Amino acid sequence: MNPLTLEWAQKAKADYVAADWLRQAPTPIYDAICFHAQQCIEKYLKAWLQEANTPFPRTHDLEELLDLIVHTTPAWNAWRSDFLVLTTHAVDFRYPGKSATANDTRHAMQICSNVR
């Protein structure tokens, strides 16, 4: 594993640990959990692309990153709908008007756990 891949993977793991820690708090912070879940997956996708020497843009859109992976690994396309959910959560819940629920959080963490 090249050093940049390792760094991306370490950052992804840190986001997972943060999300899990927030989930176990006496008063879970649902918006932040969903955000860190999305960030975790984003960084794992970037680690995958880095290891494959595939250039990728500075984006937070999981589908855009996924599009770069499915050319060589079509099986990843099975994650598309879950990644869309995570991307939507990461954007929508950062602004007033929408807040994550316990169900949103469970789903986000389930996706994260499955992808890891």
Q: How far apart are alpha carbons 81 and 96 in whole angstroms?
A: 24
Q: How far apart are alpha carbons 99 and 32 in whole angstroms?
A: 10
How much is the pTM? 0.93
Contact indicator for 52, 72 with CB cutoff of 8 Å: yes
pLDDT value of position 100: 94
CATH code assigned to 3-115 = 1.20.120.330
Cβ neighbour number for residue 83 with a 10 Å cutoff: 23
pLDDT value of position 76: 94
Each residue's pLDDT, cut to its tens digit, for the chain (116 residues) gives 899 999 999 999 999 999 999 999 999 999 999 999 999 999 999 999 999 999 999 998 999 999 999 988 999 999 999 999 999 888 888 889 899 999 999 999 999 999 88
Residue 55, amino acid: P
